[in-house]
């Protein structure tokens, strides 16, 4: 059974009968996990194994695991810093910041892969204009070239651990104050202004081979009347044609208020897929997920099926016990574990003496 275009969540620490029914639906192609789905390392591994066993090819298993305040699994995982910390280190030592970004990506992905997770929706490619509370310290920096360089390093670290990455929120969420979880943000800037700054990290990461992108639920009113995630102009003309992106386009969560302009949940899913998304997310709303699975009429485009299948994580031979004994992982954890904590400055001095051991791939 090929993977469908809908990614949904599950209710708790193990699958219920209702979860299994939804996951076996032919329109389902993936699962996104949340903090409520995690109690322990052993439990998470059992949950992902159960999800994988349901289908062949197995459902894509994803999570929002960026570091800082957006890290779903904590106990038993390395607590990663908000990405702004890496941008602050860049101001003092750009080479050190790049090494640390790659280390963060490697640790993030290696730990998730050891638990059977295929994909994390990271990195954030938005610029930090100091305006958006929902982006805030999730952004690396205010300058586009710094965001691009640090995100590329993070992507390389994730890739080395066998995991793809998803850049968000195309074409840039950092300029608007409104939170698209709660409102429909409107960015009034011109296309030329957006191209000059916000689009730069996305273009750079497309060129570097980033396999996934997620558009923003933001209306760029001088360019199109629709939010980017429902806009054929943004997804097909700009992202696909102008930037040459060939990977998977994921919608942001269709349950967010910013998606409400497209109608009910089935209308939202259809509009996002028609605009150019390969997979749409429906989170924290099982009744809406049922509605879409029962009502949506959407063929499975062959190209989307191929794109989605490529995002399955590469085989990772190490469980967490073995991972702790793996030199590259142990060294990377040593370097990133104190970032963003009160002792971070003292820790960073130690990094100056050790960051060259693992190098850049």
Would the pLDDT of 351 be above 60?
Answer: no
- Structure confidence at residue 316 (pLDDT): 62
Q: Write down the catalytic residue from 9, 64, 252, 278.
A: 252
Q: Looking at 283-292, 318-327, 352-361, which range is the least confident one?
A: 352-361
Residue 179: which pLDDT band, with cuts at 50, 70 and 90? low
- Structure confidence at residue 355 (pLDDT): 29
Look up 253 and say whether it is catalytic. no
- Cβ(190)–Cβ(222) below 8 Å: yes
- Structure confidence at residue 141 (pLDDT): 97
Would the pLDDT of 61 be above 70?
Answer: yes
CATH 2.40.70.10 fits domain 6-48+78-354 = no
Q: Write down the catalytic residue from 181, 224, 267, 319.
A: 181
- In Å, how far from its chain's centre is CA 300? 23
Residue 84: which pLDDT band, with cuts at 50, 70 and 90? very high
Smallest Cα–Cα separation from 59: which of 286, 284, 308, 318?
A: 308
Cis preceding linkage at 336, omega within 30: no
Look up 65 and say whether it is catalytic. no
When pLDDT is averaged across residues 3-12 and rounded to a whole number, the result is 96
Q: What would the pLDDT profile of 33-53 be if each residue is shown by its tens digit?
A: 999 999 999 999 999 999 999
* Dihedral class, residue 136 (left if φ above 0, else alpha if ψ from -120 to 50, else beta): left
Smallest Cα–Cα separation from 202: which of 240, 259, 161?
A: 240
């Amino acid at each position: 059974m090929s993977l469908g275009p809908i990614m949904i969540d599950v209710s708790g620490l193990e699958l219920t009968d209702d979860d299994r029914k939804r996951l076996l639906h032919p329109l389902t192609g993936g699962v996104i996990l949340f903090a409520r789905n995690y109690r322990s390392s052993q439990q998470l591994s059992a949950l992902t194994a159960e999800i994988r066993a349901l289908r062949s090819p197995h459902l894509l298993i994803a999570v929002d695991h960026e570091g800082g305040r957006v890290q779903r699994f904590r106990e038993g995982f390395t607590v990663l810093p908000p990405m702004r910390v890496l941008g602050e280190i860049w101001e003092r030592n750009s080479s050190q910041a790049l090494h640390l970004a790659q280390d963060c990506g490697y640790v993030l992905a290696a730990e998730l892969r050891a638990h059977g997770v295929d994909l994390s929706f990271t990195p954030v490619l938005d610029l930090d204009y100091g305006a958006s509370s929902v982006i805030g310290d999730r952004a690396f920096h205010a300058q586009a070239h710094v965001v691009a360089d640090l995100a590329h390093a993070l992507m390389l670290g994730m890739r080395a651990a066998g995991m793809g990455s998803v850049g968000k929120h195309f074409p840039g969420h950092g300029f608007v104050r409104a939170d698209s979880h709660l409102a429909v943000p409107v960015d009034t800037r011109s296309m030329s202004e957006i191209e000059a700054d916000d689009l730069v990290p996305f273009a750079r990461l497309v060129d570097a081979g980033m396999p996934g992108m997620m558009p923003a639920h933001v209306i760029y009113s001088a360019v199109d009347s629709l939010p980017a995630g429902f806009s054929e102009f943004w997804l097909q003309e700009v992202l696909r044609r102008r930037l040459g992106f060939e990977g998977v386009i994921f919608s942001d969560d269709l349950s967010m208020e910013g998606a409400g302009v497209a109608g009910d949940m089935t209308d939202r899913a259809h509009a996002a897929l028609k605009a150019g998304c390969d997979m749409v997310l429906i989170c924290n709303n099982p009744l809406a997920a049922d509605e879409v699975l029962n009502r949506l009429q959407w063929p499975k485009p062959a190209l989307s099926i191929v794109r989605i299948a490529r995002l399955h994580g590469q085989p990772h031979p190490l469980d967490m016990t073995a991972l702790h004994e793996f030199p590259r992982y142990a060294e990377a954890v040593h370097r990133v574990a104190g970032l963003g904590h009160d002792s971070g400055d003292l820790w960073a001095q130690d990094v100056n003496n050790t960051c060259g051991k693992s190098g850049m791939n």
